[in-house]
């Protein structure tokens, strides 16, 4: 979570960039995206094609993005919030509607994804999908086999059952430090409605998590990529693409670390990162041009090939590497797809209960 400190400097740097850009009358688009989430050649190609300079800045948590957006005057033209955050931000008046006449490439989008994102943004008026993925289990195949005697993980039972967690403790387990991802998953595992955060349900999740908590080495939302890749830990609840990046880094390092990703049979949460334009964006036309460029099939396919996440662009699938397209962990088959669920935004009171419960689980207080 360290980049929060960095972010301040980044913001200052960006602010000076914006000021400079305005003076020079140069065409600019200020993009704020997740870290490690694009093939950087896409940005160069965009500048070559349109003459618009891309000022690209990154974040590593929705909370950071949201705080900047809510404070207003962020100076960003294109931002990439996750859909459940997006829906609340739309309510707060953070975004402007997309001008679809400037986005002819919207025809390439995938109806399967659009139907699901409409839950957060009815009619998909404010945003369009960039990438999507699942919350699952990333693991070190050999270490898990040694500890549990199983070839592959296929159930949430592995991380929510104290017996198996006790066996995994020594080789190391990380959980996402993200209540909005772990709690719905835990509810689903318990056979409850993943969107029902009633006090009763939260209590059940809390009881279950407190039993496995002693065996969790750390709750953290980004360290697990390196930790998995280096072989420091053997299991992590994590986001699909992050685990694939860990797998890739481990392969490059050739240290014999073999990482796999599982979408457990009980079902997994599906999330969507959405391209949106803040209401006070200084360069609206350039923002539309940038989004439209990302909606080009061959462009977004290049991004998917680099970051191992599925995108919401149906037409791009012919350009996506076969290994990625055929990997059910990235592009799930139909049966798995049926098991994936989405969760909506929480109201402030529920959010407070959820955060409080999460603090109790994480710190034991």
Partner 1 sequence: MTDAAMSTTAVKAGGPVNAVLNRLVIIVPYLWLLFFFLVPFLIVFKISLSQTAIAMPPYTPSFDLSEGIGGLLSGLKELSFDNYVWLTQDPLYFNAYVSSVVIAAVSTLLTLLVGYPIAYGMARAPTTIRPTLLMLVILPFWTSFLIRVYAWIGILKPEGLLNQVLLATGIISEPLIILNTYTAIFIGIVYSYLPFMVLPLYSALEKMDYSLIEAAEDLGCPPIMAFWKITFPLSIPGVVAGCLLVFIPAVGEFVIPDLLGGSQTLMIGKTLWNEFFANRDWPVSSAVAVILLLILIVPIVFFQQAQAKAQEQGR
Q: Which residues make up the interface to partner 1 (CB under 8 A)?
A: 1-2, 4-6, 61, 63-64, 66-67, 69-72, 88, 91-94, 177, 179, 216-220, 230-232, 348, 351-352, 355-356, 358-359, 362-365
User: Could you tell me the end-to-end alpha-carbon distance of the chain, in angstroms, rounded to an integer?
Assistant: 21
Nearest CB to partner 1, comparing residues 203 and 359: 359
Token representation of residue 206: 């809390």
CB of 206 to partner 1, least distance (A): 14
Token pair 């065996």 is at which residue? 215
CB of 177 to partner 1, least distance (A): 7
Token pair 């929060």 is at which residue? 4
Nearest CB to partner 1, comparing residues 82 and 304: 82
CB of 317 to partner 1, least distance (A): 36
CB of 4 to partner 1, least distance (A): 8
Using CA atoms, how far residue 9 sits from 19, 65, 68, in Å, is: 16, 15, 14
Q: Name the phi and psi angles at 136, rounded to 5.
A: -140, -155
Nearest CB to partner 1, comparing residues 99 and 170: 170
Nearest CB to partner 1, comparing residues 16 and 355: 355
> Exposed (0-12), middle (13-18) or buried (19+): which is 365, by Cβ within 10 Å?
exposed
Give the list of residues 6+ apart from residue 184 with CB closer than 8 angstroms, or none.
Answer: 194, 195, 269, 341, 343
On whether the CB atoms of residues 126 and 90 are closer than 8 A, the answer is: yes
CB of 257 to partner 1, least distance (A): 12
**Coil/strand/helix, residue 162:** helix
Nearest CB to partner 1, comparing residues 41 and 67: 67
């Amino acid at each position: 979570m360290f980049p929060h400190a960095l972010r301040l400097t980044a913001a200052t740097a960006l602010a000076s960039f914006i000021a400079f850009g305005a003076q020079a009358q140069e065409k600019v688009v200020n993009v704020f995206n997740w870290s490690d989430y694009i093939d950087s050649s896409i940005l160069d190609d965009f500048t070559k094609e349109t003459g618009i300079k891309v000022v690209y800045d990154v974040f590593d948590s929705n909370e950071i993005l949201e705080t900047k957006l809510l404070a207003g005057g962020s100076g960003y033209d294109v931002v990439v919030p996750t859909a459940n955050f997006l829906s609340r931000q739309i309510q707060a008046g953070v975004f402007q509607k997309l001008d679809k006449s400037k986005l002819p490439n919207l025809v390439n989008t995938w109806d399967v994804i659009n139907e699901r994102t409409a839950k957060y943004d009815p009619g998909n008026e404010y945003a369009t999908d960039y990438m999507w993925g699942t919350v699952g289990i990333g693991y070190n195949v050999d270490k898990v086999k040694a500890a549990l005697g199983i070839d592959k993980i296929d159930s949430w039972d592995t991380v929510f059952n104290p017996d198996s967690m006790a066996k995994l403790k020594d080789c190391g387990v990380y959980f996402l430090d993200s209540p909005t991802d772990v709690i719905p998953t835990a509810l689903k595992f318990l056979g409850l409605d993943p969107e029902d955060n009633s006090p009763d349900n939260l209590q059940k999740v809390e009881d279950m998590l407190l039993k496995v908590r002693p065996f969790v080495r750390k709750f953290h939302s980004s360290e697990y990529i390196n930790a998995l890749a280096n072989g420091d830990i053997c299991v992590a609840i994590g986001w699909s693409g992050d685990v694939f990046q860990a797998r890739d880094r481990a392969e490059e390092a050739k240290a014999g670390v073999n990482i796999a990703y599982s979408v457990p049979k009980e079902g997994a949460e599906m999330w969507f990162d959405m391209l949106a334009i803040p209401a006070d964006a200084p360069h609206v036309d350039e923002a539309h041009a940038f989004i439209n460029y990302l909606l080009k099939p061959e462009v977004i396919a290049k991004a998917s090939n680099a970051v191992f996440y599925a995108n919401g662009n149906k037409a791009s699938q012919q350009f996506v590497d076969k290994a990625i397209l055929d990997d059910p962990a990235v592009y799930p088959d139909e049966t798995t797809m049926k098991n994936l669920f989405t969760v909506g935004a929480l109201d402030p009171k529920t959010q407070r209960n959820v955060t409080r419960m999460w603090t109790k689980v994480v710190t034991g207080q």
